[in-house]
Amino acid sequence: MIELKHLSKVYDNGKTRVEAIRDINLTIEDGDIFGIIGLSGAGKSTLIRCINFLEKPTEGQVIFDGVDLGAISHKELLKKRQDMSMIFQSFNLLSQRTVIDNVCFPLEIAGTGKKEARKRATELLEVVGLSDKQKSYPVQLSGGQQQRVAIARALATNPKVLLCDEATSALDPNTTSSILNLLKEINRTMGVTIIVITHEMRVIEQICNKVAVIDSSRIVEEGPVKEVFTAPKSQIAKQLILPKNDFVQEVEGLNCLRLVFDGTSAFEPVISSLSRECDTDVNIIWANTKSIEGRTYGQMIIQIPEEKEKETAIKAYLDSKKITYKEEGINVE
């Protein structure tokens, strides 16, 4: 378990003073895949680098499994870091080492025997699906493959926590998905707690169970992904989560309802049964719904007939299904 208590970091070079993170309080439970999302410059990297003390927080504490990282000696800190590995946007592999030697690197640092290290590295390369690339050099690999090597390397010392700073931001969508699936798999099978820093909502959607939204150095919202996702409260969360509407022109003058799916129902049957029950046609103008943990979340705007009784019937039906709706709230913001 990681507890961040009143964590702040100020960069002050005498001339300019930047408060990169301010009074951050978060608890990350064992087994979580915890997402931290925010716009560029919000303080995400600073926050994650404070967690393993690559950056010394100006104020506050990082408590990792009951140990205050700020209160232990440098030597003990180095040891602790072997329990919390990190992967990066730019992979950061050693360019002059082969793939397998890269994976062995943290084991060399930890003082593991050569033979044992090789064995472990071979196993891990199998886990990340790169057994055939052992002898290759990083330059010979694609970005996705390099990140897989980095993941294998990060897992070498059997860490309890994996810190990911924009780990998929340099990858294309398909590769991103496969890397995220790998992370999820690692979390499930090895029980590694994962902290994911990102500016992309879909990363959170795909793997996280909890999320914190960071804006201008502060955490503005936090909670289980499904809660934050269905009902974002902060302006910035809305901006990140809800899609921009580029359809206002077309919708004007139409009789519309915005439906909000909070995971209790799947939308397909709802719409078709709504048409059936109310004996009317509904037109899906726009939808942005997502499946998270097998349930549907998101919003949809449907056009309904102008007739008053049809509208009442539709609303009654939605009420009976406990689906939240709002009349023509085109503006997402």
Partner 1 sequence: MLNSAMVGLLGVSLWETIYMVIISTLLAYAFGLPIGVILNITAKDGICPNKPVNSVLGVIVNVFRSVPFLILLIWMLPFTKMVVGTMVGPTSVIVPLVVSAAPFVGRMVESSLNEIDGGVIEAAQSMGSSSWQIIYKVLIPEAKPSLIIGAAISITTILGYSAMAGIVGGGGLGAVATNYGLYRYNNEVMLITIVIIVVIVQIFQEIGMMAAKKLDKRLK
CB of 198 or CB of 299, closer to partner 1 = 198
For the record, the structure tokens of 121 come out as 């590295």
CB of 141 or CB of 186, closer to partner 1 = 141
Which residues touch 163 (CB under 8 Å, ≥6 apart)?
A: 48, 51, 52, 84, 85, 86, 87, 195, 197
Residue nearest to Mg ion (CB): 45
Contact 91, 150 (CB under 8 A): yes
Contact 21, 46 (CB under 8 A): yes
CB of 101 or CB of 165, closer to Mg ion = 165
Q: What's the gap between Cα 165 and its chain centre?
A: 10
Min dist CB 11 to ligand ATP, Å, is: 3
CB of 45 or CB of 209, closer to Mg ion = 45
CB count in 10 Å sphere of residue 162 = 23
Min dist CB 18 to ligand ATP, Å, is: 4
Residues interacting with partner 1, by CB under 8 A?
Answer: 52, 54, 77-82, 85-86, 88, 90, 92-98, 105-106, 108-110, 137-140, 150, 157, 163
- CA angle centred on 231, ends 7 and 289, rounded to 5°: 120
Helix (H) or strand (E) holding 226: helix 225-230
Contact 204, 198 (CB under 8 A): yes
- Residues 29-58 interacting with Mg ion (rule: CB under 5 A): 45
Which residues touch 174 (CB under 8 Å, ≥6 apart)?
A: none
Contacted by 187, from ligand ATP, Mg ion, partner 1, none: CB < 5 to 8 Å by type? none
Contacted by 38, from ligand ATP, partner 1, Mg ion, none: CB < 5 to 8 Å by type? ligand ATP
- Residues 192-221 interacting with ligand ATP (rule: CB under 6 A): 199
Contact 88, 59 (CB under 8 A): no
The 10 Å CB-count burial string (b at 16+, else e) for 58-80 is: bebebbbeeeebbeeeeeeeeeb
Min dist CB 217 to ligand ATP, Å, is: 7
- Residue 283: phi and psi, rounded to 5, are -115, 120
Contacted by 109, from Mg ion, partner 1, ligand ATP, none: CB < 5 to 8 Å by type? partner 1
Min dist CB 51 to ligand ATP, Å, is: 12
Distance CA 215, CA 205 (A): 19
Min dist CB 130 to partner 1, Å, is: 17
Min dist CB 45 to ligand ATP, Å, is: 3
Min dist CB 183 to partner 1, Å, is: 17
Q: Which of 45, 43, 297 is nearest to 195 (CA)?
A: 45
Min dist CB 79 to partner 1, Å, is: 6
- Residues 12-71 interacting with ligand ATP (rule: CB under 6 A): 18, 20, 38, 40-46
Q: Does 11 bind ligand ATP (CB under 6 A)?
A: yes
Contacted by 97, from Mg ion, partner 1, ligand ATP, none: CB < 5 to 8 Å by type? partner 1
- Using CB atoms within 10 A of its CB, is residue 2 exposed (0-12), middle (13-18) or buried (19+)? buried
CB of 11 or CB of 247, closer to ligand ATP = 11
Contact footprint for Mg ion (CB under 5 A): 45
Contact footprint for ligand ATP (CB under 6 A): 11, 18, 20, 38, 40-46, 199
